[in-house]
A and B are shown apart, each in its own frame.
Chain A
Amino acid sequence: MTLFVQRVSPFETLATIDLPDKGPPANAEGGVAFTLDGSGLVVACETKTFLVPLRYGSLSE
C-alpha cells in the first residue's frame, strides 16, 4: 500500500511512502487517520496497522 500526504490548496502531493502490506478492502470507510496532535498517521492495511511519524517543515529546511 502506498500512503500519500496531499495538500488541499494548492492541490499537490507533499510526501509518499510505501507500506509493507496491501491496502484496506474496497469498502473500507477509513483506513488512514491523523493522530490528534498531528505528529503521525495511523494506517490500517490489509492485515497490519502502522503508525507513520510525520514531520512538518518549510521549503528552506
Chain B
Amino acid sequence: MERIFEFKDGTSAKFWAISLDGTTVTTRYGRLGAAGQQTLKKESTPEKAKALFEKLVKEKTTKGYAEAGGAPAPGPSSAPTPASATADLVAAKKALDADEPYRAGVKASVGLGKVGDASAEQLALIIAALKSICSHLDEHGPANMDLYGGGKISMKKFFTLLDEAKSASRALRNPGAAAPASMAAAGPAKVTLGKPKERCTGKFPNLAMTRGGFLSAQPAADDETDLVLRDPASGAVVRKLEIDGPCSVAVSPDGSLIAIGRTEGRP
C-alpha cells in the first residue's frame, strides 16, 4: 500500500509517496495534483528494504511532511497484522531449522519495539536464535560476525538481548516476579518465597551470580577448586574451570566479569 505525505508552506505545495513491495521501495514526488516522478530502489533483502522504507518516512516527517488523511494507513512500519505476524513466525521457525539464527531472530522480532513487548511464541523463537548466536560467538569470537548481521549488532548487544529476552520470558511465565522500578529505593512491601527447587549437589563454600548463571567455587580433589558456572533454571553446567588450590571469586556489578583470587599462578 502506498503512503502519501504532503507538504504545504506558503507557495510550496508538494507531495511525496512511498510504497514497499518485497525488496523494492518505490517513491513518487511532485507538485500536489500532479502525477509526479517515480524512483525505484531495490535492496538485497526485504529487511533492508523495510529499513530503507522506514528511514525515508522518518526523514520526510522530520522535514515537515504530514501524512495525507491523518493517521497512517496500515503499512510496513506499523505493527504486523495477525496474518503477517504468523507468517513471520513460520519463517523464523524455518530459519532456525535451516541453522540461520540471525534471520530467525529478525523474523521473530518483526514489529517489536523492544524485547519486552514480544509474545511467548516470539520470545521462544528469539531466545532460541540468540542462544545459537551467543553460543557460536562465545566459542569462536567475533570472527564470523558477517553471519549475524555484519556487525549491525555488537557481540555484547547479542548477549544483552539474550538476557533481556530470558527476563521477559520469565516475566511472562511469572508476572509478579520482576521488581517494579518504583520499588527500587524503598524495596517491596511484601515478598513471597516459592517452593525451593534443587539445582545441584555438592558443597559450595562460595557462591555468586553472573550474567550467564550462578557461579560456585566447589572444593575438589587434590586441593583443587572447581569453579562452576551453572544455569539457574536447570542447574546444568555451563562452564567449568579447575583452579589449583582454594580461591575466592567476585562478580562485577553488571554480572559480566568474574575476578578470581588465588595464591599464585594462572587459573
Residue ranges of A at the interface with B (Cβ–Cβ < 8 Å): 3, 5, 7-9, 14-17, 19-20, 24-25, 27-44, 46-59, 61
Contact = CB atoms under 8 A, between A and B. Distances in A.
Interface string B160-204: 000100110011001011111001001111111111111111111
Interface residues of B, number: 45
Interface stretch (B19-27, B38-46, B49-57, B207-215): B207-215
Contact of B209 (A3, A28, A33, A49): A33
A44 B204 contact: yes
A55 B205 contact: no
A29 B206 CA distance: 5
A59 B187 CA distance: 12
Interface string B202-236: 11111111110010100000000000000011010
A56 B214 CA distance: 21
A50 B206 contact: no
Contacts of A25: 203, 205
A52 B194 contact: yes
B170 to A, nearest CB: 5
What 4 A-B pairs are tightest by C-beta distance, nearest first? Answer: A53-B194, A44-B204, A56-B188, A39-B177
Given A28-B205, A46-B203, A14 B178 contact: no
